[in-house]
Amino acid sequence: MEGSVSEGFGWLQRDREVAQRDLGRAYGFAKREAAKVSDVPRLSQRIGGKEVAPASGTYLDNVNPANGNVLCKVPRGDTRDVDAAVEAATAAQIAWANTPLTERCRVLRRTAELIERDLDRLARLESEDTGKPIRLARTLDIPRAARNFRFYADFLAARTEPTFRRDGWKHLTARGPVGVVGLVTPWNLPLYLLTWKVAPALGLGNAVVAKPSELTPRTADALADLLAEAGLPAGVYNTVHGLGPEAGEPLVRHPGVRAVSFTGGTATGAKVAQAASSGPSPKKLSLELGGKNAALVFADCDLDAAVAGVVRGGFTNGGQICLCTSRVLVEKSLLPTFLPRLEAAVRALKVGDPGDEATDVGALNSLAHRGKVEGYLELARKEANILCGGERPSLSGELADGAFLTPVIVTDVKQQSRLVQEEVFGPLITVQTFADEDEAIRLANGVRYGLTSTVWTKDATKAQRVAARLDTGMVWINCWLVRDLATAFGGVKDSGVGREGGEWSVDFYSEAKTVTMKED
Ligand code: NAD
């Protein structure tokens, strides 16, 4: 299993590189693109408050996966850019750490307001970069980015540190930043996931070097302007762009970076962990990795809510959220009622133009990624049954060659199938049945991942009993994607190491110092 997952990701990376090198061929837009490329804006890196071109002098293409248009040129950063960014961050960090907490929280709060002011612009950037529906970007991604900043502003301002008194001694807890933190983030929820890290890191007095996904770089760049407008001093937030092995790995490895928070695939996470521990000094590491999350649907569930929840959990963002429920486990007696309802709801999803407010499922993140999902369809044809979906929809105009795929339900699939075991990360769910609670739990836990699970039943006692036995970092009962940012977020097994959120982020992005003195 290990090998096949790594192979999957290796193939994707190679394909991306081919796509980057030969955009016209990969997208079938050779003539149109040739005319457009010269007009395409160049993104800069943000280093020490300045817009900086990559040391390599070379750029990658940021392609809109819905229509193949080149949105911008992405700096192809490397070790030299990372060195400059870490140097700038180091120079700016101490003064920022010495800035009163109230001022740091004011900057976070103001950034939240500016993100809300620029909601439409940011949502458009995100939708174009990723292929996701504009409606989703406007209602999920960008509001959550603002909420990340506002939450940590309030949370950090309200916190107090414990004091311990014993035997005539007083032990105070003081808290300071870690220093310079390196943040590496994926393409599926670009600003949402980046700000989940940036907000607590800055609030706690760290300086940041961010390496956003090369496929979706524009909102990380836009954030630099908003932070500066909010009053963040130059050099406290820096960005380096480019490919993972060329820009991400040197950042993670850099001895000046004291903590690394990474969100992305499990195979990449393993490389990040290796690179982060390869230097002479140990560093803090948080890994938010892949998922293969199960929805457990019991016969005594609220059927309407369960069907709606499974569709939402399976196909929001085209199934490209680590928290998506890609495995649906249904109690056998309910299947004849549940499956036709599920199929009808999935067939009703509107696939197409991400710019259309009515669209439910936009484009996948790239043609290469759609190719990966289609590879799993081939497998499903051989060893399972495709109940619906898996076609390239016929769309007109520029969208005709976009990375679209209709949502897929796979049935008659075995637990050991790669369709069940591997993270597809696209609009594809599998349906299996279980006879009883024990079997449901055995199937749910029978994968290498352990990020989330969802339990659908009206029996609250059963739901909590099942939740206690599920090997995942989070369990949702009769709901999906309900998040309180104070709670622990993270996975077990191959879904990650560590937790972020609330106090867990405070722990990660700061160091507690014990100060001991005699009681007065
Ligand atoms: P990815 O692992 O390919 O890339 C993530 C980031 O890592 C990108 O910025 C990339 O450039 C960088 N990178 C690649 N190789 C690197 C290396 N050797 N060293 C350092 N950095 C490197 O992931 P992706 O395809 O962008 O995103 C999809 C994956 O992310 C899925 O597996 C999904 O489950 C996971 N994800 C997890 C969470 C979570 O919170 N658990 C959230 C969102 C996405």
Asked if residue 389 and residue 340 are part of one domain, the reply reads: yes
Spacing, Cα 186 to ligand 1 middle (Å): 4
What is the 269 CA–ligand 1 centroid distance (Å)? 7
For residue range 346-372, list pLDDT tens digits in order: 999 999 999 999 999 999 999 999 999
Q: What is the per-residue pLDDT for 27?
A: 38
Q: Is the CB of 214 under 6 A from ligand 1?
A: yes
Q: Ligand 1 within 6 A of 29 CB?
A: no
Residue 239 lies in a domain: yes
Buried residues in 136-164 as b, exposed as e (16+ CB within 10 A): bbbebbbbbbbbbbbbbbebbeeeeeeee
CATH of the domain at 323: 3.40.309.10
Residue 180 sits in the same domain as residue 228: yes
Among residues 300, 111, 88, 140, which one has the least CA distance to residue 200? 111
- Within a domain: residue 158? yes
Task: Name the domain count of the chain.
Answer: 2
| Ramachandran sector of residue 358 (left: φ over 0; alpha: ψ -120 to 50; beta: rest) | alpha
Q: Are residues 231 and 322 in the same domain?
A: no
Do residues 268 and 384 share a domain? no
Does the C-beta of 186 come closer than 6 Å to ligand 1? yes
Q: What's the rounded Cα separation, in Å, for the pair 303 and 361?
A: 23
- Judge if the beta carbon of residue 423 lies within 6 A of ligand 1: yes
Contact 222, 161 (CB under 8 A): no
Q: Are 484 and 463 in contact (CB under 8 A)?
A: no
Same domain, 246 and 382: no
**Average pLDDT for residues 293-320, to the nearest whole number?**
98
User: Which residue type occupies 29?
Assistant: F
Looking at the CA of residue 290, tell me the nearest atom of ligand 1.
34
Q: What is the mean pLDDT of residues 51-66?
A: 98
Does residue 454 form part of some domain? yes
Does the residue 109 lie in any domain?
yes
Name which residue sits closest to atom 43 of ligand 1, judged by CA.
Answer: 322
CA of 268 to the centre of ligand 1 (A): 6
443 within a domain of the structure (yes/no): yes
- In this structure, the answer to whether residues 299 and 284 fall within a common structural domain is no
Q: Which of 263, 364, 448, 500 has the most ligand 1 atoms within 8 A of CB, as the residue to mutate?
A: 263
- Asked whether residue 91 is domain-assigned, the answer is yes
299 and 437 belong to one structural domain: yes
**What is the average pLDDT across 133-141?**
98
Please work out whether the CB of residue 251 comes within 6 Å of at least one atom of ligand 1: no
Residue 38: per-residue pLDDT: 60
Residue 255 Cα to ligand 1 middle (Å)? 22
Q: Higher confidence at residue 279 or residue 109?
A: 109
Give the model's confidence band at 29: pLDDT under 50 very low, under 70 low, under 90 confident, else very high: very low
256 Cβ below 6 A of ligand 1: no
Shared domain for 229 and 284, answered yes or no, is yes
Cβ neighbors of 43 (< 8 A, separation 6 or more) are 62, 72, 73, 74, 75, 217, 218, 221, 241
Q: Each residue of 231-247: pLDDT tens digit? A: 999 999 999 999 999 99
pLDDT exceeds 80 at position 20: no
- Containing structural domain, residue 15: 5-289+497-512
Mean of the pLDDT values across residues 100-120?
98
CB 68 within 8 A of CB 36: no
Residues of the chain above pLDDT 90, percent:
91
**What are the pLDDT digits (tens) for 461-471?**
999 999 999 99
Residues 194 and 320 in one domain: no
For residue 259, CA distances in Å to 80, 158, 197, 238, 474 come to: 20, 24, 11, 15, 24
CATH number at residue 36: 3.40.605.10
pTM beyond cutoff 0.75: yes
The ligand 1 atom at the shortest distance from the C-alpha of residue 213 is 9
Mean pLDDT of the 276-299 span: 96
User: Which residues are identified as catalytic?
Assistant: 288, 322
Residue 484 pLDDT grade (very low, low, confident, very high; cuts 50, 70, 90): very high
Q: Are residues 362 and 433 in the same domain?
A: yes
518 within a domain of the structure (yes/no):
no
Mean pLDDT score, 48-77? 98
pLDDT at 165: 97
Mark whether 362 and 502 lie in a shared domain.
no
Mean pLDDT of the chain, nearest integer: 93
Residue 501, in any domain of the structure? yes
- What tokens appear for 409 in the block? 């339900």
In this model, does residue 71 exceed pLDDT 90? yes
Is residue 122 located within the same domain as residue 147?
yes
